[in-house]
Amino acid sequence: MSEINNKNLIVANWKMHKSIHAAQQYIHSFMQLEELERSSINCDVVFCPPVTLIQVLKEAGMVVGAQDCCAFSEIEGAFTGDISAQMLKDVGCQYIIVGHSERRKYHQESNELVKQKIANVHKAGLIAIICIGETLNQREDEDYKQILLKALEEGMPESANDRNTIIAYEPLWAIGTGKTATIDQIAEIHQYLLEKSLSRFAFSPKIIYGGSVNLENSQAILDISNVSGLLIGGASLNPEIFYKIIKIANKNR
The nearest distance, CB 87 to ligand PGA, in angstroms, is 23
Q: State which residue, 99 or 157, has the beta carbon closest to ligand PGA.
A: 99
Give the footprint of ligand PGA on residues 193-212 (CB under 6 A): 210-212
Task: Tell me: does residue 232 bind ligand PGA (CB under 6 A).
Answer: yes
Among residues 28, 100, 134, 216, which one is catalytic? 100
The nearest distance, CB 47 to ligand PGA, in angstroms, is 13
DSSP string covering 103-126, please?
HHHHS---HHHHHHHHHHHHHTT-
Q: What is the dihedral of CA 197, 198, 204, 208, to 10 degrees?
A: 30
Give the footprint of ligand PGA on residues 2-31 (CB under 6 A): 13
Say how far apart CA 86 and CA 89 lie, in whole Å: 5
- Our measurement of the distance from residue 223's CA atom to the centroid of its chain's CA atoms, rounded to an integer in Å, reads 19
Give the footprint of ligand PGA on residues 138-177 (CB under 6 A): 170, 175-176
The nearest distance, CB 63 to ligand PGA, in angstroms, is 17
Q: State which residue, 104 or 115, has the beta carbon closest to ligand PGA.
A: 104
Phi first, then psi, for residue 189 (nearest 5°) are -70, -40
Q: State which residue, 157 or 211, has the beta carbon closest to ligand PGA.
A: 211
Task: Tell me: does residue 233 bind ligand PGA (CB under 6 A).
Answer: yes
Task: Examine the residue annotation and report whether 100 is marked as an active-site residue of this protein.
Answer: yes
Q: Which of 54, 187, 213, 222 binds ligand PGA (CB under 6 A)?
A: 213
How many residues touch ligand PGA (CB under 6 A)?
Answer: 13
Q: State which residue, 30 or 242, has the beta carbon closest to ligand PGA.
A: 242
Q: State which residue, 134 or 170, has the beta carbon closest to ligand PGA.
A: 170
Task: Examine the residue annotation and report whether 170 is marked as an active-site residue of this protein.
Answer: yes
Among residues 109, 134, 170, 190, which one is catalytic? 170
Residues classed as catalytic:
100, 170
- Positions touching ligand PGA (CB under 6 A) are 13, 170, 175-176, 210-213, 231-235
